[in-house]
Amino acid sequence: MRKTIGVRLTAPLLAATLGPAALLLAPVASAAADPAAAAVPGLAAAPYEYLGWGNPQKPTDVMKATGVKWFTLAFVLSDGGCNPKWDGSRPLTGGTDEAAIKSIRAAGGDVVVSVGGWSGNKLGEKCSSASALAGAYQKVIDAYKLKAFDIDIENTEFGNATVRQRVVDALKIVKAKNPGIVTYITLGTTPTGPDATGKDLIKRGAAAGLANDGWVVMPFDFGGHTGTMGQATVGALEGLKSAVKSAYGYSDDAAYRHIGVSSMNGKTDEAGETVSTADFRTILGYAQQHHLARFSFWSVNRDRACGSGTDADACSGVAQSPYEFTKIVVQYQG
């Protein structure tokens, strides 16, 4: 996710420029209304940390300061072919990333690994088939014996209908081979919910019979919105709920339990757009009311005030105490 403010690969979402869906697919029977994530304490609140930029904090220090147990570590990319590496260059095992994961687990926590983001080579594009892509995803899962996996689908990977279908089909293979694994698909949004491309992705998931645990939107970089960013986020989530309900045939309650939010703290990539701690509290209340699958944000790296000349990748751009946003998110328990 996002990399314009450095990297989450912060999603300038390009919602206005992505074309309409080319294929409308019929809904399928609904999956279970009680996602697996509900059974994993702390998983629903797993903020992103990017260990490759933004002067990252030691995850164990964040755990001690906030009580957070889970992190979403970003990003795994293609090494130029159908092979996964951190940032497309660092090995899955034997390096600093694996060491960080071991330290989190030793302190009683765990990780979601996120594949994709805004920049870099995407596995969904570099792997030529769903089975090959599933194999690349499986390498990541096997490297860390993951309980949860996030596909942050953005930019050209999101905009290509063939690749969207490949990602959906690959994730269905992964779900079949890894019983109980919790999966998220994270995508951009408008203030009223996913655009035509996002809705197409959800419809493809439903048509394929993909029992995805959480369809997650990134409600920022809107290009204009009304009300507070908290209110705009609620509007985006209501639109997402309607799209997921329609595609899967869920009840309202089941649809809410299969959607999630990944916000951005402080100043976003868009001039004049700021997500405040008050907005995070609005999102928290909404998530608690509807039992969303996920409440995350981009990113822990940015969860501190800026010093003079500090890079926006490493701070929020707003007045705050250390980890103030993480401390709100960690209150969410599903």
Query: How buried is residue 192: exposed, middle or buried, by Cβ count under 10 Å (0-12/13-18/19+)?
Result: middle
125 catalytic? Reply is: no
Distances (CA, A) of 176 to 127, 130, 141: 19, 13, 13
The two tokens of residue 40 are: 């994993």
The residues facing 188 across adjacent strands are 218
The two tokens of residue 108 are: 């009683």
The residues facing 248 across adjacent strands are none
CA neighbor of 92 nearest in space, from 69, 115, 117: 115
In total, the chain counts a number of residues equal to 334
Other beta carbons within 10 angstroms of residue 89's beta carbon come to: 11
Rounded Cα–Cα distance for residues 284 and 278 (Å): 10
Residue from 49, 154, 157, 324 carrying the catalytic annotation: 154
* Single-letter amino acid code for the residue at 185: I
Long-range contacts of 86-91 (CB under 8 A, 24+ apart): 86/51, 86/52, 87/52, 87/120, 88/120, 88/121, 90/52
Rounded Cα–Cα distance for residues 77 and 316 (Å): 25
The catalytic residues are 154
